[in-house]
Amino acid sequence: MKPGIDDQSKPQTMIQEKYTKRYQNLKVAEALSNNHFYPFACNELSSIIDLGYSQLPKDLKAFIFRDCLSAFRLLPEMNTSAAVSAANLLVKSVESAFPKQKKNLAIVEFKQAKVALKRRTKSHDEHIDLPSLPQDILVHIFSFLDVSSLLSSSQVSRSWNQATSEGSLWRSLFDLHFSHKVLIHIYPGIDWREAFKNEYILYKSSKMLRSGRGYCSYCDSVVWHDNLRCPKKQCRLKSGKKPLDLMLTHQVVNYLLGTTSSSDESDSEDEAVRGLWAYPTLQ
Amino acid sequence: MSESDMAIIKPEMMKSYIWLETSDGSIQQVEQEVAMFCPFICHQVLQKGGGSSKNNAISLPQKVNPAMLSLIFDYCRFHQLPGRSNKERKVYDEKFMRMDTKRLCELTSAADSLQLKPLVDLTSRALARIIEGKTPEEIREIFHLPDDLTEEEKLEPLKNTMDDPRIRLLNRLYAKKRKELKEREKLKSIEVEEHVDERSVDDLLSFINGRDHKVVNTSKRKKKTKKRKEHKNGTCKVSNKDSHNLHSKQRSVDETSFSLGGVSNLHNIEDDIFSRKAEFEDGYIDDEIDPALKEMLDREVEDFARRLNSSWVLSVGQERQPVHFSINGNGDTRRLTGKEGGGDEWFDFSSVTLGEASDPPEYDKVPSDREELVLDVPSSSSTSLFTFELPLSISELELLREDTSR
């Protein structure tokens, strides 16, 4: 063993391991099998591929490739158009960045998934009448939903629309998202939905929620947030009502690759956001 | 059960069954411990002394049919045993919840009418998990619900009351871009060179976004430079369209700026730029596009963007920063066409459905597909679950319609 060569290769492999370890900590693969996180995970993969595939160490490339394949394989089970969109986007990233052989394999997998998906949607054609749920049950069900799902539900039908206008739903959402940073004057007859909406726009929540990611200071890691909280129980207990710091996808990619690229969004608002990229060095 | 309650219940009942009658008239008996797990039945037995015999069967609420009843009792039977660990219960619950949506709904109703709260919770959560992340269309399909809201009503909760005229201007420009894209889509099938026009759309859009061409995906940029080259070598016919587009865009931007009236800041800036542009427009009758002219216009457009952004930041103040605008190049017919209520929304559902940016890639086509249709730079991720837009009042909407119909 020549000591000179060893010394040279060691730091390199250490760096490589660091990236791979970070990637594994991100738990992208697990998220893919979850119905709720699948679109987020696909988007993250797309971003990682777009922003830095060529720089990745070899074994990390292999992981990414493997995860892309499993993303396509899992697509038929995800029965939403959001999932299909995300997969389409992923395929486009794959097309532009992957080397020929891997690209072809991935595309084959994707096409198979599309076929399976088509078959699935065809088999669902029973026209039964479902019993209509009473309003208070609907409200109870909606109390478990996140903002986007709640708004989707409000557009479904008249009875659902009525149920979504229930103030308590919006109040608890307001609490969840903003109570730690907004003081609100509560008066009788307050329209919680309006209040929520105003804060939502003000804090650009729609942008921040796009990634599904947050940074938990208690476990010092980038996690898939579960309703704005860390999925780990201890962290939830410690943090109480305080939600996670939400992260944007490009910030997650920056963390993974150790880069400082900003997102496509050029607005000067990014000034504030860019400062967040430098999370304490995570292993 | 209290002492007095115990006294009321006849000793024979202690080990016996309770008689229940379901909505369809059939009568069955269930072990007491199991049935008493349901508060409804419990009340009936204790307060009204029901269920003691076949003739005295407790009639259950309408929503409880025999199938659901047996399910519920399975649940009760498992859970009423105090000896089970939490983990066991959780595992059982997971398994129990695996059924199709229809049964889940029925079960929820039944459990609710029997006041069995833990089961209601369980089923509600399961239903919430089904609803999560789906578009209204998909939800309607799963639950077989009728689409009985008018367009207006659907968007009613989404209306935004923000009133900044600058935002309205930009919103209008956005809407314009969207419409143009749509028209382009139609023309695309007729004219193949259509894609060259896209570049001017991108430019104008980039000025709206205030986008620095430096801060862009390298892959996107490469595609763009490719297009620029193509464009320069374009034919007369193509440049016709392009210039015409520029024309109409400028005209409409002009109009919108003039209609703003009371916005002092913006108005002055716009005046500057557009008055200069007007000169070009007048002399711009011939159809050949002058590349130098185009460059100049591009520069001015960028300038305007920068000024717009900066003035916006200044006036709005320190705590707030320019609200981020984004569009989706898709599904806007729903919002803009045939609606009187205006395009007011803060939540764009077209982004939840399949966007044009996320259409399945067609492997024979030019890869520029993706780029030209993605107007919105940040949410080029197709699962931009949330985008929002700012209001258009009815009059503005009409103005828009006028413009585009020209």
DSSP B283-349: T--SSPPPHHHHHHHHHHHHHHHHHHHHHHHHHH-SS--PPP----SS--HHHHTT-SS-S--SS-G
pLDDT of residue B318: 41
Averaged over B12-36, what is the pLDDT? 80
pLDDT confidence band for B259 (50 / 70 / 90): very low
pLDDT tens digit sequence for B276-328: 444 444 444 444 456 667 677 777 777 776 766 665 544 444 444 443 433 34
| pLDDT above 80 for A112 | yes
Tell me the chain A residues in contact with residue B107 when contact means C-beta distances shorter than 8 Å. Answer: none
Q: Is A191 on the interface with B (CB under 8 A)?
A: no
pLDDT of residue B288: 47
pLDDT of residue B8: 62
| pLDDT above 50 for B267 | no
Cβ–Cβ under 8 Å, residues B254 and B291: no
Q: What is the torsional sign of CA A33, A34, A39, A40? A: negative
Q: How many CB atoms lie within 10 A of CB A231?
A: 16
Residues 113 to 132 of A: which have CB under 8 A from any B CB?
114, 124, 127-131
Q: Nearest 5 degrees, angle CA A77-CA A83-CA A88?
A: 115
Out of B129, B139, B322, closest to residue A268 by CB: B322
Residues facing residue A193 across a β-bridge? none
Q: Is A181 on the interface with B (CB under 8 A)?
A: no
Averaged over B352-372, what is the pLDDT? 44
pLDDT confidence band for B394 (50 / 70 / 90): low
| pLDDT above 60 for B214 | no
Is the model more confident about A84 or about B163? A84
Averaged over B206-217, what is the pLDDT? 53
Residue A252's closest CA among A34, A45, A16, A68?
A: A45
| pLDDT above 50 for B332 | no
Averaged over B62-85, what is the pLDDT? 87
Residue A211's closest CA among A201, A225, A200, A197?
A: A225
Residue A73's closest CA among A98, A110, A44, A41?
A: A110
Determine the Cα–Cα distance for residues B157 and A160; give it in Å rounded to an integer.
13
* Interface contact B381-A128, CB threshold 8 A: no
Rounded alpha-carbon distances, angstroms, from residue B110 to B38, B60, B98, B107 = 11, 10, 17, 5
pLDDT of residue B122: 93
pLDDT tens digit sequence for B118-150: 999 999 999 999 999 888 888 988 888 888 877
| pLDDT above 60 for B348 | no
* Interface contact A141-B127, CB threshold 8 A: yes
* Interface contact A141-B128, CB threshold 8 A: yes
| Percent of chain B residues topping a pLDDT of 90 | 5
Tell me the chain B residues in contact with residue A130 when contact means C-beta distances shorter than 8 Å. Answer: 101-102, 105, 143-145
Which of A130, A172, A209 to mutate: most B Cβ within 10 Å? A130
Out of A85, A96, A158, closest to residue B355 by CB: A85
Q: Is A149 on the interface with B (CB under 8 A)?
A: yes
> Looking at beta carbons, which pairs linking A201-206 to residues 24 or more positions away fall under 8 Å?
A201/B160, A201/B162, A201/B323, A201/B346, A201/B388, A202/B320, A203/A177, A203/A178, A204/A269, A204/B323, A204/B324, A205/A147, A205/A177, A205/B386, A206/B346, A206/B347, A206/B385, A206/B386, A206/B387, A206/B388
| Percent of chain B residues topping a pLDDT of 70 | 40
Provide the edge-to-edge strand list for the sheet that holds A245-247. Answer: A221-224, A213-216, A245-247
pLDDT of residue A123: 60
Relative to beta strand A221-224, strand A213-216 is: antiparallel
Is the model more confident about A17 or about A62? A62
Is the model more confident about B377 or about A34? A34
Determine the Cα–Cα distance for residues B100 and A130; give it in Å rounded to an integer.
11
pLDDT of residue B84: 85
Who contacts B169 (Cβ-Cβ below 8 Å, separation ≥6)?
B256, B257, B260, B266
Averaged over A140-160, what is the pLDDT? 90
Residues facing residue A247 across a β-bridge? A213
Q: Nearest 5 degrees, angle CA A260-CA A265-CA A270?
A: 60
Determine the Cα–Cα distance for residues A280 and B202; give it in Å rounded to an integer.
38
* Interface contact B383-A82, CB threshold 8 A: yes
pLDDT of residue B170: 67
Taking every pair of C-alpha atoms in chain A, what is the biggest distance, in angstroms?
79
pLDDT confidence band for A125 (50 / 70 / 90): low
Out of B129, B146, B354, closest to residue A84 by CB: B354
Out of B128, B143, B357, closest to residue A130 by CB: B143
Buried b (16+ CB within 10 A) or exposed e, B43-54: ebbbeeebbbee
User: What percentage of chain B's residues is helix, strand, coil (to nearest 5)?
Assistant: 60, 5, 35
| pLDDT above 50 for B104 | yes
Q: Which of A53-67, A146-160, B233-247 has the lowest mean pLDDT?
A: B233-247
Out of B144, B322, B387, closest to residue A130 by CB: B144
Determine the Cα–Cα distance for residues B184 and B189; give it in Å rounded to an integer.
9
pLDDT of residue A226: 82
B25-34, B273-282, B371-380: which has the highest mean pLDDT?
B25-34
| pLDDT above 50 for A238 | yes
A86-90, B211-215, B332-336: which has the highest mean pLDDT?
A86-90
Determine the Cα–Cα distance for residues A40 and A30; give it in Å rounded to an integer.
12
This model of the complex carries an ipTM of 0.80
Determine the Cα–Cα distance for residues B85 and B77; give it in Å rounded to an integer.
15
Residue with tokens 């208070």: A136
Cβ–Cβ under 8 Å, residues B19 and B54: yes
Question: What's the whole-number average pLDDT of chain B?
Answer: 63
Q: What is the pTM of this model?
A: 0.59
Cβ–Cβ under 8 Å, residues B329 and B356: yes
